[in-house]
Amino acid sequence: MIARQALRRARATADIASLCENATTTSIPDSSMDYIVSAFGLKTLSRQAMTELAREIRRILKPGGRFSLIEISFPTDWLFYRMLGAYTTAFGSCDRIAPLFRDIGLEVSVKGHFYDCATSLVGYKAG
């Protein structure tokens, strides 16, 4: 996956980095990131690891920096539940983890996508 990202990054016009590190304890300097994006990794984290991730995001974001995290979620439509239900029941949705991010001082909102088959946490570090 990192090799594929390196190929995509070579075509990008922005300064983009792909790191292979523990997301809860990165080597990224304090207050150095404008944006953080993550897709489909939240459901694998324990509550403690989720809190550590929220702290790490707060630590590395610049004041005013933004983040967006998306995860497959428990769908609200029964047709989609038949497809995703067993996979998403334990995670629920990003509504469940939003308070962890708020508790450490990040501004957060939750958005639903694709009939709530995915939810995202979007927010920022206040300046």
Cα–Cα distance list, 105 to 31, 38, 45 (Å): 14, 19, 20
Total residue count of the chain as it appears in this document: 127
Q: If we measure between CA atoms, which residue out of 36, 43, 77, 41 comes closest to residue 58?
A: 36
Residue 2 confidence (pLDDT) above 70: no
- Per the model's pLDDT, the better-predicted residue between 87 and 47 turns out to be 47
The pLDDT mean for the chain works out to 85
Query: Residue 90: which pLDDT band, with cuts at 50, 70 and 90?
Result: confident
Residue 52 confidence (pLDDT) above 90: yes
> What are the domain boundaries of the chain?
32-125
Residue 82 confidence (pLDDT) above 60: no
Between β-strands 33-39 and 61-72, what pairing exists: parallel, antiparallel or unpaired? Answer: parallel
What is the value of pTM for the model shown? 0.74
Residue 83 confidence (pLDDT) above 60: no
Q: What is the CATH number of domain 32-125?
A: 3.40.50.150
Q: What is the distance between the alpha carbons of residues 66 and 79, in angstroms, rounded to a whole number?
A: 34
| DSSP letter, residue 61 | E
Q: What is the pLDDT of residue 81?
A: 57
Q: What is the pLDDT of residue 77?
A: 64
Residue 68 confidence (pLDDT) above 90: yes
- Per the model's pLDDT, the better-predicted residue between 31 and 17 turns out to be 31
